[in-house]
Amino acid sequence: SGYFQFGVCKCKSGWTGFDCATPIYHYIDTVHSNILPIWNTKAGRNSNLTSIGYGKGQMPPNETISNIIDRNIYTKYTSFESSSADVISRRSGLNTGFYMILNTTICIVTGFQFTTAINQPKRDPVMITLEGSNADNSSLTFGTSWTLIYNGSSGLEIDPGRGEVGSLQILNNSQPYRSYRMLVISKREIESGVHYSEFAFYGHSCLPETHIQTRNIMAQTMSAYMRVTNDYPQPLILTTSTNTNMKDTFPSQTIEAGRTSPMTYISTGTEMCQSYFDIAYGSSTIKINMGQDEYVTDANFFGLKGQTETLFAPTKPFSKDTDYTFYFFGGPDVLPPLINSLIDANLPAITAYVSTNLFYFNLTNDIKLTIKQLDLTSQSIRCSYATLSPIHHQENNLQWNINMILNLNGKIFGSITYHYMSMDFNITLSNASMLTQAIVNISDLQVLSCTVTQVAFSIQSFNINNDLLMLVKAFFSTWYKLIDTPYNLASTLNIKYNNIIIDKLNIAISKLINTTLIKNVFKKKLMSDRTFHYDNDKMEQIKTNNSRWMSTPKIQSKMLSQLKIPGTHNSGSYELTRNLSEIIYGNIKFLWNLSANTAPANGQLPFNNDKIYVGRILLDYIIDTVLRISISQSRTIRQQLDD
């Protein structure tokens, strides 16, 4: 556990103290361990496996044993022992627990810690037993395979609250074991069953099974740049917690409305375990895992769908200092269903257009990529997050930020040409995501502009036709290294070809905005442009001076409640219908062009005719918004006159 350097005793990693004989206790990662629930079992006795259900010796289908190692306080493990879910007793749930087979590892466990469930404190375990074993898996059901190493408090004798960790319980154990068995022997109060949310082991000297002596193991560290964008119109309070096996952490902070936090460097520690931390903002909590090799990098969300989203964008081998850039967002959830409605209405037409109009990309001076066909379904492109917020939260906002994340699944067909040699390809994307950030300028609606400023990709899985892959591997090994894994492909898009993608998107958006139909939607219609038609009698009435109409004897002889004034601007707005009038008004003509139907897949872009296909959800939202703005009172004409 130590060594001498210049006559001084130096401690190896994991050890401390004057003589380097005191181990440093750390969290033991059990995410990939095999864990089995048991009931009707006592220390030193044979184990009985628990099944799924609500009766004797069972656990509810959504409250199974795997929940205690999922790092989610909103899930739990519940067991009933010899009773059932509807039986309340002192013994219900006792003599239940689990045995855990560590993943190809033996560890000296010297501590443990429970996390309570988010409800029903009477079910909390109070006293437990803990046993260890190095027997084969097939022998672990036998009581003789286990050695008792602890009998005492669970650390929950004093209730820490719901969804909170109990006291870390330290036990006197110096023997490494591959498997551990925990049994609950008493609970807090009379209730049906026993439950808990999380269970964690702490200890030291975790080694592969083939090594019994302690050796210094260092995990490969991982790093990222991280930032959080607040798309709400009010400040966002962000808190960071947990930070397990993290070296550089993201700080808690307040992010002002419409602002993004400073880009912060975060990195993992060197322990051989999963690194993770929690952040919370708005109504959401996010658990972020970071790791390489057998450890994972992902995010788990707990909160309202659509109000929080993230994208982990790979950056190596092009970036020398970090593995990822982490983008986090928080904002209103209004836009995603509206954008999905627009996608559903136009995706078939766009897919058909690509099949008849090839798209070309010059990757280098020698290599050209051609997109020939898209194989997409209604679920291939879905918007999981989108906001439109002013750059400056004040009146007369003329510039707006767009933040949008699309989830991508589907197949792309095309060809790649190198000099005069060409080969067809097809690539299938699964669970890919694309972040797009843009600025919309509406200072002059005659020259409306939308400029993409940032795109980023994350790809979980993809597949390329094998003949192309083998050709690239044989003749273009440098290229092969850029597309051989989902991580490398995403990194290539994020760094090497990012500017090309942004340029192509801006060209496409500019063409779309400049179509006649879209320009007409945003074209200014001044009051002076309106044409009104009157007959001669009405024109004579207009010429009459009615500026002193209330002074005439006819009006003066009436009480105020007897006056009828139907010409006020809002008198008839109490009962507007969802149907547009037969008269089309030029300044809002686009409302009559909106359609809930799906655009025809005829090889033409759906934005070049006199219809705007928005889908049913978006159309209803637009009409409802117009009604909400237009209805300025709820009183009928009669009620207004009576008033």
My answer on whether 373 and 279 are in the same domain is no
Q: Is residue 536 part of a domain?
A: no
Q: What is the span of the domain harbouring residue 152? A: 11-208
Give residue for tokens 């909103």. Answer: 74
199-203, 253-257, 295-299, 358-362, range with the lowest pLDDT: 358-362
Alpha helices in 288-374 (DSSP H): 335-356
* Cβ–Cβ < 8 Å for 614, 596: yes
Q: Is residue 6 part of a domain?
A: no
- Residue-wise pLDDT for 537-563, tens only, equals 444 444 455 556 667 777 777 766 566
What pLDDT does residue 173 have?
A: 87
- Residue-wise pLDDT for 490-500, tens only, equals 999 999 889 98
Q: Is residue 519 part of a domain?
A: no
Q: What mean pLDDT is reported for the chain? A: 82
Dihedral of the alpha carbons of 501, 502, 503, 509, in degrees to the nearest 10: 110
My answer on whether 240 and 153 are in the same domain is no
My answer on whether 472 and 355 are in the same domain is yes
Q: Is residue 2 part of a domain?
A: no
- 504 burial (CB, 10 Å; 0-12 / 13-18 / 19+) is middle
- Residue-wise pLDDT for 376-429, tens only, equals 888 899 999 999 988 876 656 778 899 999 999 999 999 888 877 788 889 898
My answer on whether 503 and 601 are in the same domain is no
What pLDDT does residue 342 have?
A: 94
What's the distance, CA 274 to chain centroid? 20
Beta strand 275-281 pairing with 264-268: unpaired
Among 454, 441, 448, 344, CA closest to 403: 454
| Assigned token pair, 526 | 């001044």
CA distance 199 to 117: 11
161-175, 239-253, 451-465, 562-576, range with the lowest pLDDT: 562-576
- Residue-wise pLDDT for 314-331, tens only, equals 998 887 788 999 999 999
Say yes or no to pLDDT of 612 above 80.
yes
If you write DSSP's letter for every residue of 427-463 in order, what string do you get?
EEEEEEEEEEEEEEE-S-GGG-EEEEEEEEEEEEEEE
What pLDDT does residue 146 have?
A: 94
Q: Which of 153, 185, 208 is the last residue of a domain?
A: 208
- Residue-wise pLDDT for 67-103, tens only, equals 998 888 889 999 987 766 667 888 888 999 999 998 7
- Residue-wise pLDDT for 212-255, tens only, equals 333 334 457 889 999 999 999 999 999 999 888 899 999 999 99
My answer on whether 298 and 363 are in the same domain is no
My answer on whether 203 and 227 are in the same domain is no
User: Do you know the residue count of the chain?
Assistant: 643
What pLDDT does residue 368 have?
A: 85
Q: Which of 208, 242, 263 is the last residue of a domain?
A: 208
* Cα-based distances in Å from 599 to 347, 520, 538, 612, 620: 8, 19, 45, 8, 17
Percent with pLDDT over 90 in the chain:
38
My answer on whether 74 and 159 are in the same domain is yes
Q: Is residue 539 part of a domain?
A: no
If you write DSSP's letter for every residue of 383-421 in order, what string do you get?
EEEEEEEESS-SSS--EEEEEEEEEEEEEEEEEEEETTE
What pLDDT does residue 626 have?
A: 83
My answer on whether 303 and 450 are in the same domain is no
Total domain count, the chain: 4
My answer on whether 63 and 199 are in the same domain is yes
My answer on whether 126 and 249 are in the same domain is no
CATH at 270: 2.60.270
**Predicted confidence band of residue 536 (pLDDT cuts 50, 70, 90):** very low
92-106, 207-221, 296-310, 588-602, range with the lowest pLDDT: 207-221
pTM score: 0.60
Number of Cβ atoms within 10 Å of the Cβ of 89: 14
**Predicted confidence band of residue 205 (pLDDT cuts 50, 70, 90):** low
My answer on whether 151 and 244 are in the same domain is no
What pLDDT does residue 6 have?
A: 41
What pLDDT does residue 527 have?
A: 34
CA distance 357 to 348: 14
Say yes or no to pLDDT of 155 above 60.
yes
- The predicted model gives 585-614 an average pLDDT of 84
CATH at 139: 2.60.120.260
Which 8-state DSSP code applies to residue 302?
E
Q: Is residue 338 part of a domain?
A: no
CA distance 496 to 511: 25
What pLDDT does residue 1 have?
A: 47
Say yes or no to pLDDT of 528 above 60.
no
16-20, 261-265, 366-370, range with the lowest pLDDT: 16-20
Q: Is residue 524 part of a domain?
A: no
Q: Is residue 530 part of a domain?
A: no
- Residue-wise pLDDT for 340-383, tens only, equals 999 999 999 999 988 888 888 777 778 888 899 999 888 899 99
CA distance 293 to 552: 92
Say yes or no to pLDDT of 532 above 50.
no
Say yes or no to pLDDT of 3 above 60.
no
Q: Which of 330, 361, 392 is the last residue of a domain?
A: 330
- Residue-wise pLDDT for 30-44, tens only, equals 877 889 999 999 999
- The predicted model gives 499-526 an average pLDDT of 72
Whole-number CA gyration radius for the chain? 33
Percent with pLDDT over 70 in the chain:
83
My answer on whether 436 and 463 are in the same domain is yes
CA distance 489 to 503: 19
